Amino acid sequence: MPEPIVFVVDVAPADASPPAGGWESTVRRAASGEPIVRGTDLAATRGDGVFETLGVLDGCPQAVDAHFWRLANSAELLELPAPNLEQWRVAMRIAGSALPTDRQGGIKLVLSRGVEGEERSTGWLIATASDDDFANRTEGWKVVTLDRGYRHDLSERAPWLLPGAKTLSYAVNMATLREAARRGADNAVYLSSDGYVMEAPQSSVLLRRGDTLVTPKTDIGILPGTTQLSVFALASQWGLATEDRLVQASDLLDSDGVWLLSSVKLATPITEVDGKPIAVDRELTERLNAALLARRE
Ligand code: PLP
């Protein structure tokens, strides 16, 4: 994997104006291998912070506004100080322009509650040029459904579990991917304990039913996906209907196509669910990925 480039951001409060040197002066490229996080940072000790991962094409970070909306929403859910989005926009531009333009890349934005006792957010960006051949887009993935362990009405019953926030605590998501691999699958789709389709550990779920694209509604304890938003905007241009609703596990088996959607991998068709082959829509897969790859903002 190409070496990631790290940028340290001197995090400003949301209402701060740019300093004399502009927001550019608050973003510093770290030297290769330079330690930039203190051992007492709550991101390191508790996973207490939020993040976003954006796709980058031709040096342009994709769907920045949608990611910034989710970043601000996650920060609010964790009761973190609101991010200064103008500062992060400049930081994002600097990180994007450090990446090569001959292939896809990604930028991870990390916003931590900061060092214990200091009451000041810390933040950084990690820009990575991808060496992935994105075979997922043509070969597709086999998935298993796995129980998420809570009901679809989690947001109402237990908002303190932070449903809908993209927190740094992804150990559970990574453990889910290892469980999927143990079961011979490429990825997993979480089901609520009462049987509804939720999301995958790092992607949203999309289904096609005739001329309608369907995604699970986001108030069931899942993340609002930025790629899913882009796909719905495309679908409207293409004359397809869109719907977000409760999706039953059985819908995965009798749809006209199912995909996992995410910012860097884009649209991956699902070929099997729990060992059963499902309908694969190659044409729409190609069309979706071509349109997502043609975006420059
Ligand atoms: N759901 C989860 C749990 C995720 O981690 C992600 C992305 O990382 C997504 C959905 C898809 O979001 P996006 O399309 O914004 O990448």
Pocket test for ligand 1, best of 69, 204, 264 (most atoms within 8 A of CB): 204
Give the pLDDT score at 297.
84
What does the pLDDT look like over 152-209, one tens digit per residue? 999 999 999 999 999 999 999 999 999 999 999 999 999 999 999 999 999 999 999 9
Residue 22 has pLDDT above 90, yes or no: yes
Q: Is 199 in the pocket of ligand 1 (CB under 6 A)?
A: yes
ipTM of the complex: 0.99
Residue 140 has pLDDT above 90, yes or no: yes
**Residue whose CA is closest, atom 8 of ligand 1?**
202
Report the separation in Å between the CA atom of 203 and the middle of ligand 1, taken as the mean of its atom positions: 4
Residues of the chain above pLDDT 70, percent: 100
Q: Which of these CATH numbers, 3.30.470.10, 3.30.200.20, 3.20.20.140, 3.40.50.300, describes 5-129?
A: 3.30.470.10
Q: Is 203 in the pocket of ligand 1 (CB under 6 A)?
A: yes
What's the topology of domain 136-294? D-amino Acid Aminotransferase; Chain A, domain 2 (3.20.10)
CATH 3.30.470.10 positions along the chain are 5-129
Q: Is 202 in the pocket of ligand 1 (CB under 6 A)?
A: yes
Ligand 1 atom at shortest distance from the alpha carbon of 166: 5
Q: Which DSSP string corresponds to the chain?
A: -PPPEEEEE-PPBTTPPP-TT-GGGGEEEPPTT---S-TTBHHHHH--EEEEEEEEETTEESSHHHHHHHHHHHHHHTTPPPB-HHHHHHHHHHHHHTS-SSS-EEEEEEEE--BTTT---EEEEEEEE-----THHHH-EEEEEEE-SS-TTHHHH-GGG-TT--BS--HHHHHHHHHHHHTT-SEEEEE-TTSBB--BTTBEEEEEETTEEEEE-GGGT-PPPHHHHHHHHHHHHTT-EEEEE--BGGGGTTSS-EEEEETTTEEEEEEEETTEE----HHHHHHHHHHHHH---
Report the separation in Å between the CA atom of 246 and the middle of ligand 1, taken as the mean of its atom positions: 18
**Residue whose CA is closest, atom 1 of ligand 1?**
203
Could you tell me the pLDDT band of residue 65, with boundaries at 50, 70 and 90? very high
Residue 220 has pLDDT above 90, yes or no: yes
